[in-house]
Structure 1
Amino acid sequence: MECHKNEPDNVVVIPVFYKVEPSQVRKQTGSYATAFAKHMKKDKDKIQKWKDVLSQAADLSGFPSTAYRSESVMIEEIARVVLGKLNHKHKNEITNNFILDENYRSIESLVKIDSAEVQVIGLWGMGGIGKTTLAAAIFQKFSIQYEGSCFFENVTDESKRHGINYVCNKLLSKLLREDLDIDTLKVIPSMVMTRLKRMKAFIVLDDVHTSELLQNLIGVRHCWLGAGSTVIVTTRDNHVLKKGGIHKIHQVKEMNSKNSLQLFSLNAFDKVLPKEGYMDLSKRAIDYAKGNPLALKVLGSFLCSKNQLEWNCALAKLKEIPNAEIDRILRWSYNELDEKEKNIFLDIACFLRGHERNRITKILNECGFFADIGIRHLLDKALIRVDSKNCIQMHDLIQEMGKQIVREESLKTPGHRSRLCDLKEVCDVLKYDRGTETVEAIILDATEDTHINLSPKAFAKMLNLRLLAFRDHKAVRPVNLPQGLDLLPENLRYFLWDGYPCKSLPPTFCPEMLVELFLRYSQVEKLWDGVLTLPNLEILDVKYSQKLIECPNVSGSPNLKEVDFSGCVSLLEVDSSIFLLQKLENLSLRKCTSLKILSSNTCSPALLNFDATNCINLQEFSVSFASVDRLCLSLPKFGTNELPSSILHFKNLWFFDCPISESLVNLPENFAMCIWLVSESLLKVERDTSITLSKILPSPAFLTVKMLIIDHVSILSEIPDNISLLSSLEFLSLNGIAIRSLPESIKYLPQLESLDVYNCNKLQSIPALSQFIPYFTVCKCESLEKVLSSTNEPSDKPKCGFILLNCIKLDPRSYQTVLKDAIAGIELGARLNSENEDPFLEQDDDIIEYFLPAMSGMENWSRYRSTQVSVTLEFPSNLLGFAYYLVLSQGHIGYDVGFGCECYLDNSSCERIHITSLTKGNFSNMLNSYDGPSIYLMMNHLVLWYDPASCEKIMEAVEEIKAISDVNNTSYNPKLTFRFFIDESLYSEVMIVECGFHWIYPFEGSAVPKRNDGFDSDDKEEAVLLTNKLEQCVVGTQSNLEVIIVDSGFHWMHPFNFESDDDEEDIVPLEYEDFEFDDEEDIVPLEYEDFDFGDEEDTVHLEYEDFEFDDEEDTVHLEYEDFEFDDSEDIR
């Protein structure tokens, strides 16, 4: 038993209870009590040890002789079990390391071997995504540490073929290692239940389709399983897991591009990289598979040994006909849907992918598909997903599967299919009037070569058409009606026709179930006559219909939420019915240059956005917003240069956007939470607006504003000093203005949390501001050269982030200043967080982050550098945490890209545990001023961050394993592995070219030092030098780097002033200042240079060498020893 305790993975104990009950052994009753009573007189300590060991042995799963009809049967069973365990203990290594990806590590972190609870882990995802492979890899690693184990594949298929009793008997037989034949699950023999409950088992149930099946196999609330057991369930349906009471759930994600290439290449070329000449073809295949392991393996095997011509042909064929084996696997989930859910799925696959979820739900509900519950079911089955913008997306292979299902409705006659989305087929059906009543949806994405002339009765046969979209992204007006249009189907729920060529809609058109109507860039002059009853219409969008003269009467559409007339330059007036809509949320009249009057005594109480910018001829604006609570109002510059009197009574607007003007001084107190000042590009501006801005800043509306945005006011040469008067200002954004510097008075804004400076190409210098503003972003200010340090000025605001993006002219000295401030800010934040002095850092998601140009200087902070991918270091004690950094290469980077560091801890059993995965916030949160899906990094950039939640989890895990080692009397020196990564992004091409991290240690003493704390030279206990351990890795251009910490050094954590009693000697901040001795001065960067005294020189690397002066030598380890000069001074 002692051997088993010391080596539980290598020593197995199987008790045999021969002619004695386990309870007698456990409680030492009967003959055991008599025997112990006799021996108790001799050695009490030894007897007590025997009793403890016997109790432990009796708790193990074993063999009571009373359960067997003869000794021979029991011996045979013991031999079989022992043989099984010996075979079971043979551990196979996972040969393909790419299986050990982010999915594997996340699942691995959910397995808690030492837990006393029964843990059930659910894996779900689309077909072929690798659920079974991942479960097998986890089973292979951990099952040897359990008494019993079973990997049960294809549970649902087995249940359908042979029945649930067969499946249950098979599972129990594997676990208990004997042939069982239980007639019914309702009555399981008590002996079987007892053995199960005493066994710590590892079970994988693969491909479970129903929660009832799950409960039949492991019991309601897992009541059949012994303490510490682990069950992994794989399924395509997340609802199975949730209904089964499983809380540890992981959705298996697609493989990244690097691992996809390896898996594909292994199947296509029998090696991890494509052979010469096949890389581009391989990338085409990988792009088709989109990270689905099944597709990668099937395609790789299919293309193996084929020449390049055959590869090209096969890949082209896949665009029209999906691979049969992949399609068969994917269809399993589709086949389990009911008819309504199948219709929802096919509409999304062929038509609505990428649309906002709420809009899709409304449209499909109007089709009678009960979309609220149907979409939820599709999500649970991993057939669709919802992205960060609440839009519904799906995997490309699943979309192709849906389109293939529709093609199979009528292979040779597209006009008899329910949905048409292929460009050639749509053109053929419309051009030759081949549509039928079967057609329910048509979508045409035009190209430059698309030109179709339709007859007036093109839609006459398509009476059941629900969804119609002619999208024209190229402005080629692909669909024309040379003879006009007689009718449109009345059943339309969604109608989009870019470049609609008629002057109005057909007079008989009255689609009462229509939800969304888009006639953008059309030729309409009016939409309809009189009132058209469209009770379900929610969106009306006719933007840039330049011939539209008459605004429609929309009183028959009471549910309208969004109306867009942007760019309708011929529109003369807005119908009064628009303002009477009670549910209207967004109204855009932007660039309606013919509008002269906007007047209404009422307005929708639901209105959120009213945009009338660039309505340059607007002379009167008298719309009442009295009933509106949170309004974003955007107005043009009025010809009289005075604001309309009607808006001077507004209060508590959410957002107000207008050109900069002296008339803004008349706005009342608490006018708007956010004011956006712009330049009116259509008007001539004659003078620098700095004077105007200085006049309006002290006015009531600005004194109470919380957000101020100054956007592309190109003739604004400076920000006035009196901006410091804005005592309520929390956010300030300066974009595209002509300033050369920022006023130092900004630091006196007491509530300012965030300052953004974008595209200010004349900006040359920034004063000492960064420490006074928690979030400070400077982007694409290409003339910026100088940034002053602010660490020497006290600030009680927590530092959370500083971004310097594409500031390509920043001089090296300023870069060193910024880097020094960044390091000081991170270290101070860590110490404040440890003392709970900073409430801002008490939340788990608060990360201190810096994004800076990457220049030389990190070597001052990181003592050790290596070109090796992996190196090793033990985890030090007495840490506050650590900061991470990586360097990104030049190139495009997508807004949705994530980057960060994953941490793994090697425990005392040499098993690697995935503790936490730290993912940096994406660029859409950090840099929201750029246009397009990506930004271009004009040089390498450094990302430096501190994550208190990550640090806390890692250090807690280390302490937990240390505590276990102490209990077991085993030595344990924790080792950490850090893996830096960039998440895949469609628009990203940057790589990690460097990475590292930095230990942060506490001060020895009770108080947390503040900036500029000075210490007297006698305060030796407070002025202990702090150590730093760091490793850096440089490995060319990779998207994922792995670093294992290997070595240690030290780093002066903060510049403190040490003043001695001697007036002739001044000892200064060791990292940044100079040493003075007598009349001679030698300036020494302590980490790199030499000390000179008199005529003798001694070169000292401070970590390893000695100081020599005259004939005396004093050896100093800077962290622990002393400096001696003459006989009178001893400075620590």
Structure 2
Amino acid sequence: MISFRNLNSIQRKVLLKLDCVALAVLARPHLPRPSTTKFILSLTLLPLFNVRTTAADKTGLTDLQKQILQDLSNYNENVQSVDKGISLFRDRLGGKRVLLILDDVDAEVQSNALVGDWLAPGSRVIITSRDKHMLHFARVSSECIHEMSGLQINEGLKLFSWHAFLRESPIPTHEDLAKRIVEACKGHPLSLEVIGAFLYDKHNETDCWTEAVDNITLHADNHKTLYISYSALSEEEKEIFLDIACFFIGEHKKIPIIFWKSLYRRVHTAISNLSLKLLIKIDEKSVFDMHDHLRDMGRTIAEEEKQGTRLWQTAHLSTASNIINFSRIRLNGGNLARLETVNRPGLRFLHLKNLVMDTLPMLPSSLIWLQLEKCSFAIQETFQFSVVGDILQMRIMQVHGGNISFNSDMIGNLSQLQHLDLEECTNLNNLPDIIGNLSQLQHLDLGGCTNLNNLPDTIGNLSQLQHLGLRWCTNVNNLPDTIGNLSQLQHLGLGWCTNVNNLPDTIGNLSQLQQLDLIGCRNLNNFPNTIGNLS
């Protein structure tokens, strides 16, 4: 269905009719995301994808409002409430003509928070939704709603053939089976693509083709059709697919791969197979993506078949029957009272965001990835590694912001740690000398730690370190000479370290260095002669 609203009038009646409406908006759960290539070029294009999923988080709607403000006015502050966001729209965005695309809206409160009288006359809004009734509740007139149909048989056969045979039409021996599959899929583009990719290497296995036809015909539901491809995956591939569906859409693949490598043996092969089968996508920036229907299928599987293994929304806390059995938990806002018993074997991944806690609960030795984002501790003002139990298997630790300082004597015992990210921990004054014991550490980011003093000499012992980020560490004066011992260092970020006035001569020893960020280092007086050794 398509919803166009002309915001010239209070009634927001649609005056614009497009010649590409078939590409614009979802009507049913099986159709692909729209393309707006041919739309009006004079408007500022502002797409907001996956509104339904984003809005499910506690700060989801205000995060979307912040995205609009950032894109249209370079506003970078947090939006405190939906009403505040609407007020900011009116103050900052009045007069802007925008083509606003809201993808996958399922509640009136979402459209009300993002669309309003702040849009200038001539602006247009496209809303995609799976729920036609929601558009009526949002006061969209019937003539502005267009329900899309599936592909015609010839179009569907071409799409399927490109994925199953790498050609425009089926091979002669499989023409009848291909037509039956296209008919059974009812023109659903995603189903045709995924089933085609699933059958691509099975041209000699006629039974697989016949079985696929029977299963698709039996299950008219699109998720059941897509499930055919999922069910053929190995156990490792299934687990990685479910992790991406529940947690890692929009995330760079590098850190999840560290996580998976501690659990599985064939991680890169699994990711490649998932991509070849079109169950996941990896963009040019190595970021995971997934069609929203595949995402929904994966989350349904996680809830029903893999019940009690993954928790990804705070709202699910009230319905979780046995929270201590989860191996992966991500919570954004809410009450942590029920997380006090997570100290048990099996918890591998814990991501807590925007939470106020009395103290950090005891964590088990099985934990591999800990992420605390803008969390505050009401009682315990210091984040102490000593309360985190025997977490010697941890590979990834990310602590961003919040009223956190570190009693870090035990950090050197995390011998398996590969990624340590302490961005914007403004209470962090020093790193302990024992940090030099982290022999496996590859990534250390201290960006925005504005009270951090100079690094310890033992930083030079990190023989595997590839990334050292100190951007906006405005209290750092100089780097230790031992920085030259970091033989694997590829990126050194010193941007806006305004107190740095010299670089050590040993910087010329960084033979693997590919990027040196010195932007904003206004007190840097000169470069050492050895800088010329960097090739």
Q: TM-score range by the shorter chain?
A: 0.5 to 0.7
Q: In structure 2, how many angstroms separate the alpha carbons of the residues matched to 1:208 and 1:390?
A: 21
Shift of 1:151: 2.7
Name which of 324, 332, 347 aligns with 2:228: 332
Correspondence for 2:426: 546
**Closer, same or farther in 2 for the Cα pair 1:524/1:234, shift >3 Å?**
farther
**Closer, same or farther in 2 for the Cα pair 1:652/1:385, shift >3 Å?**
same
Q: Secondary structure at the match of 1:470?
A: strand
Residues 1:618 and 2:500 aligned together? yes
Q: Secondary structure at the match of 2:239?
A: helix
Give the alignment of 1:60-209 within 5 angstroms: 99=152, 123-124=162-163, 138=169, 151-153=175-177
Q: In structure 2, how many angstroms separate the alpha carbons of the residues matched to 1:156 and 1:556?
A: 62
Shift of 1:399: 0.9
Q: In structure 2, how many angstroms separate the alpha carbons of the residues matched to 1:622 and 1:123?
A: 57
Name which of 455, 458, 467 aligns with 1:577: 458
Correspondence for 1:214: 203
Q: Do 1:521 and 1:544's aligned partners in 2 also have CA atoms closer than 8 Å?
A: yes
**Closer, same or farther in 2 for the Cα pair 1:383/1:638, shift >3 Å?**
closer
Shift of 1:392: 2.3
Q: Secondary structure at the match of 2:468?
A: strand
Shift of 1:156: 12
**Closer, same or farther in 2 for the Cα pair 1:383/1:211, shift >3 Å?**
closer
**Closer, same or farther in 2 for the Cα pair 1:637/1:235, shift >3 Å?**
farther
Correspondence for 2:365: 490
**Closer, same or farther in 2 for the Cα pair 1:544/1:335, shift >3 Å?**
same
Correspondence for 2:383: 504
Name which of 404, 411, 418 aligns with 2:309: 418
Gaps of 5+ in 1: 1-95, 109-120, 126-130, 158-205, 218-232, 237-293, 295-322, 411-415, 472-477, 655-1132
Shift of 1:350: 0.9
Q: Secondary structure at the match of 1:350?
A: helix
Name which of 305, 324, 335 aligns with 1:436: 324
Shift of 1:594: 1.9
Correspondence for 1:452: 335
Q: Do 1:156 and 1:208's aligned partners in 2 also have CA atoms closer than 8 Å?
A: no
Shift of 1:366: 0.5
Residues 1:594 and 2:490 aligned together? no
Residues 1:536 and 2:416 aligned together? yes
Query: CA deviation digits over 1:310-342, x for unaligned, max 9?
Result: xxxxxxxxxxxxx97111111111111232222
Shift of 1:592: 1.6
Q: Do 1:456 and 1:481's aligned partners in 2 also have CA atoms closer than 8 Å?
A: no
**Closer, same or farther in 2 for the Cα pair 1:648/1:424, shift >3 Å?**
same
**Closer, same or farther in 2 for the Cα pair 1:370/1:457, shift >3 Å?**
same
Which structure has the bigger radius of gyration? 1
**Closer, same or farther in 2 for the Cα pair 1:621/1:329, shift >3 Å?**
same
Question: Which letter does structure 1 place at the counterpart of 2:472?
Answer: K
Give percent identity, aligned residues only: 20
Give the alignment of 1:630-641 within 5 angstroms: 630-635=513-518, 637=521, 639=523
Question: Which letter does structure 2 place at the counterpart of 1:365?
Answer: K
**Closer, same or farther in 2 for the Cα pair 1:234/1:395, shift >3 Å?**
farther
Q: Secondary structure at the match of 1:532?
A: helix
**Closer, same or farther in 2 for the Cα pair 1:335/1:456, shift >3 Å?**
closer
Correspondence for 1:933: none
Residues 1:628 and 2:510 aligned together? yes
Question: Which letter does structure 2 place at the counterpart of 1:467?
Answer: F
Shift of 1:586: 1.7
Name which of 357, 374, 399 aligns with 1:481: 357
Q: In structure 2, how many angstroms separate the alpha carbons of the residues matched to 1:398 and 1:406?
A: 12
Residues 1:395 and 2:291 aligned together? yes
Question: Which letter does structure 2 place at the counterpart of 1:490?
Answer: S
Q: In structure 2, how many angstroms separate the alpha carbons of the residues matched to 1:331 and 1:375?
A: 18
Q: Do 1:209 and 1:235's aligned partners in 2 also have CA atoms closer than 8 Å?
A: no
Q: Secondary structure at the match of 1:340?
A: helix
Q: In structure 1, how many angstroms separate the alpha carbons of the residues matched to 2:480 and 2:427?
A: 23
Query: CA deviation digits over 1:149-202, x for unaligned, max 9?
Result: 873227999xxxxxxxxxxxxxxxxxxxxxxxxxxxxxxxxxxxxxxxxxxxxx
Q: In structure 2, how many angstroms separate the alpha carbons of the residues matched to 1:434 and 1:555?
A: 40
**Closer, same or farther in 2 for the Cα pair 1:149/1:469, shift >3 Å?**
closer
Shift of 1:361: 2.5
Q: In structure 2, how many angstroms separate the alpha carbons of the residues matched to 1:456 and 1:402?
A: 24
Q: In structure 1, how many angstroms separate the alpha carbons of the residues matched to 2:319 and 2:460?
A: 44
Question: Which letter does structure 2 place at the counterpart of 1:435?
Answer: I
Q: Secondary structure at the match of 1:642?
A: coil
Shift of 1:649: 2.6
Q: In structure 1, how many angstroms separate the alpha carbons of the residues matched to 2:154 and 2:506?
A: 59
**Closer, same or farther in 2 for the Cα pair 1:521/1:212, shift >3 Å?**
closer
Q: Do 2:437 and 2:462's aligned partners in 1 also have CA atoms closer than 8 Å?
A: no
Q: Which has the higher strand share?
A: 1
Q: In structure 2, how many angstroms separate the alpha carbons of the residues matched to 1:368 and 1:563?
A: 24
Q: Do 1:532 and 1:554's aligned partners in 2 also have CA atoms closer than 8 Å?
A: yes
Correspondence for 1:560: 441
Give the alignment of 1:903-1052 within 5 angstroms: none
- Count of aligned residue pairs for this structure pair: 359
**Closer, same or farther in 2 for the Cα pair 1:555/1:155, shift >3 Å?**
farther
Q: In structure 1, how many angstroms separate the alpha carbons of the residues matched to 2:510 and 2:180?
A: 56
Correspondence for 1:843: none
Question: Which letter does structure 2 place at the counterpart of 1:557?
Answer: L
Q: In structure 2, how many angstroms separate the alpha carbons of the residues matched to 1:653 and 1:103?
A: 55
Q: In structure 2, how many angstroms separate the alpha carbons of the residues matched to 1:152 and 1:521?
A: 60
Q: Which has the higher helix share?
A: 2
Q: Do 1:514 and 1:536's aligned partners in 2 also have CA atoms closer than 8 Å?
A: yes
Shift of 1:388: 1.2
Query: CA deviation digits over 1:653-708, x for unaligned, max 9?
Result: 46xxxxxxxxxxxxxxxxxxxxxxxxxxxxxxxxxxxxxxxxxxxxxxxxxxxxxx
Q: Do 2:493 and 2:517's aligned partners in 1 also have CA atoms closer than 8 Å?
A: yes
**Closer, same or farther in 2 for the Cα pair 1:620/1:155, shift >3 Å?**
same
Q: Secondary structure at the match of 1:124?
A: helix
Residues 1:526 and 2:406 aligned together? yes
Question: Which letter does structure 1 place at the counterpart of 2:233?
Answer: L
Q: Do 2:443 and 2:466's aligned partners in 1 also have CA atoms closer than 8 Å?
A: yes
Q: Do 1:456 and 1:487's aligned partners in 2 also have CA atoms closer than 8 Å?
A: no
Shift of 1:389: 1.2
- Which has the bigger relative contact order, CA under 8 A and spacing at least 6? 2
Q: In structure 2, how many angstroms separate the alpha carbons of the residues matched to 1:391 and 1:343?
A: 18
Q: In structure 2, how many angstroms separate the alpha carbons of the residues matched to 1:497 and 1:504?
A: 11
Q: In structure 2, how many angstroms separate the alpha carbons of the residues matched to 1:537 and 1:455?
A: 28
Q: In structure 2, how many angstroms separate the alpha carbons of the residues matched to 1:595 and 1:574?
A: 8
Query: CA deviation digits over 1:58-107, x for unaligned, max 9?
Result: xxxxxxxxxxxxxxxxxxxxxxxxxxxxxxxxxxxxxx996599998xx6
Question: Which letter does structure 2 place at the counterpart of 1:338?
Answer: S
Q: In structure 2, how many angstroms separate the alpha carbons of the residues matched to 1:335 and 1:638?
A: 58
Correspondence for 2:526: 643
**Closer, same or farther in 2 for the Cα pair 1:614/1:155, shift >3 Å?**
closer
Gaps of 5+ in 2: 1-148, 182-194
Query: CA deviation digits over 1:969-1011, x for unaligned, max 9?
Result: xxxxxxxxxxxxxxxxxxxxxxxxxxxxxxxxxxxxxxxxxxx
Shift of 1:652: 5.0
The TM-score with structure 2 as length reference comes to 0.58
Q: In structure 1, how many angstroms separate the alpha carbons of the residues matched to 2:424 and 2:201?
A: 56
Q: Do 2:420 and 2:444's aligned partners in 1 also have CA atoms closer than 8 Å?
A: yes
Shift of 1:588: 1.6
Shift of 1:521: 0.8
**Closer, same or farther in 2 for the Cα pair 1:363/1:103, shift >3 Å?**
farther
Q: Secondary structure at the match of 2:370?
A: strand
Q: In structure 1, how many angstroms separate the alpha carbons of the residues matched to 2:304 and 2:211?
A: 28
